[in-house]
Amino acid sequence: MELFISFSEIFRFFKRHLWKFAVVVAACGILFGVLSLKTFKREYTATSTILIACTIDDNASPDYSNQYASMLNVRLQAAIALADSEEMRQSVAERAGVEDSSLIGVAAKQVGTSTLIEVTITTDDRANAALLADSAAGQIAEEIETIYPTPPVQVHITNHAEEPAELSARSAAVKSGILGLVLGFILSLCAGIAILLLDRSIRNAAYVTKTLSLPCLGSFAAKTAKEDDEFRRLRAALACQVGESGSILLAPVKGKRGAGHAAAGLARALTLTGRTVLLIEADFTGRSEAASLGAQDTKGLAAALANGVSAKEAAVPTKQEGLFFLASGQTPGSSADLLASQAFASFLRQAAESYDYVLCTLPSEDKLPDADSAAPAADSVVLVAEYGVTPYRDFEDSLARLRTAGGKVSGFVLEGIR
């Protein structure tokens, strides 16, 4: 969805899902280690080096001498080809006096552009590995000398093979496990970035601001040491967009958190500047913030509208000086119809005259039309998006619906950043 992914977004994503990626990395390490134990075979290699040279008669013609390099190359390639044959494997085993089945294979390769040939054998017999390598080098030397008698070929073993080190199943499993951990980390990293690239939820407030021309009033993480400062920033941005007083609806687009936490934090921040705030819960489906605010039970918004009770009479004080609270209560009919009524609009206007700010929380836009119904009655509407949860398309649709309904959308807040 977004045109770029910042490093901070990637870091937050992996931090949020750290245990999941740790499980993937550990599973890859264990899987590779177990597979290594299951497929482990004690196969040893040993290498001998032979030197091939041709002798040319001093009286040879110049043309014949010029063919020296070509002839030598033919013999080198022949030695390499001889090694990779079943007959050679059997001959080497017989020459070394070991069982044919213990010699797995013979291979040879030229060392750079020199006339040296490395002969390597693979066997499950560690004790005879060096003997088999030297036997293979000797067998190849004899056959090359027999095949090319003219000009004479000299083949010498320049480096004899050494006995290979003992192989350990545990060591092989540990190495494979470490390789699995590395591959698991790379896989997790690639998968995480792919998920971010394909994700359609809001993770970047700046992108939303740019594409929808809607200011971000605040981005904050819940329950952190810096939470109060984040709400102070939100307070300053809100005052700039809305003014020094008024009624404000907080409408969550989609998510499990709702607008209660954001509204309560903003209300407390506003009271710290000496302003009076009334927090109204118009979300008839969500949980109440009454306990966290230290507010007593109230008859609720629905009862106040039905009985014509004023905001001053219906609201109760909280443990925060200057902050008053009114719960939603229970409504016998549709909450959307209640919020679209003239009674609610009048109640909100009267409340705005009694308090500096009236904050009203609403249910999610994707579930109920309550925010659309209540939007025209308020001085301002603030959308609440949840980091990594609220889809960008749903946010865009909610913004369009609220504006069409007559709501004055001042901006949005992004909460739940971890």
Q: What is the pLDDT of residues 227-246, one digit of tens each?
A: 788 888 889 988 888 888 88
Residue 411's pLDDT is: 92
Helices (H), 154-226: 169-198, 205-212
DSSP at 93: H
- CATH code for residues 44-159: 3.30.70.1130
Inter-residue contact 383 to 218 (CB < 8 Å): no
pLDDT band at 377 (very low <50, low <70, confident <90, very high): very high
For the cut 60, the answer to whether the pLDDT of residue 4 exceeds it is no
How many whole angstroms separate alpha carbon 94 and alpha carbon 28?
Answer: 44
For the cut 80, the answer to whether the pLDDT of residue 207 exceeds it is yes
Residues 6 or more apart whose Cβ sits within 8 Å of residue 225: none
DSSP at 115: S
Tokens in use for 288?
A: 């109440």
Higher-confidence residue of 414 and 418: namely 414
Domain segments of the chain as ranges: 7-39+169-198, 44-159, 205-415
Higher-confidence residue of 163 and 278: namely 278
Q: Stretch 136-151: mean pLDDT, rounded?
A: 85
Residue 73's pLDDT is: 83
3-state DSSP call for residue 101? helix
Residue 197's pLDDT is: 76
The fourth-level CATH superfamily of domain 205-415 is P-loop containing nucleotide triphosphate hydrolases (3.40.50.300)
Highest mean pLDDT among 220-224, 235-239, 253-257: 235-239
Closest CA to 409 of 270, 253, 288, 284: 253
Q: What is the mean pLDDT of the chain?
A: 85
| 44 bridge partner residues | 123
Residue 354's pLDDT is: 92
Q: What is the pLDDT of residues 43-90, one digit of tens each?
A: 889 999 998 887 666 665 666 656 677 777 888 888 888 888 888 888
Residues 6 or more apart whose Cβ sits within 8 Å of residue 213: none
pTM above 0.75, yes or no: no
Closest CA to 230 of 11, 416, 6, 14: 416
Backbone angles phi, psi at 275, to 5 degrees: -85, 155
For the cut 90, the answer to whether the pLDDT of residue 152 exceeds it is no
CA terminus-to-terminus distance, the chain: 20
For the cut 80, the answer to whether the pLDDT of residue 403 exceeds it is yes
Q: What is the pLDDT of residues 322-376, one digit of tens each?
A: 999 998 888 777 888 989 999 999 999 999 999 999 999 998 888 889 999 999 9
How many whole angstroms separate alpha carbon 280 and alpha carbon 273?
Answer: 20
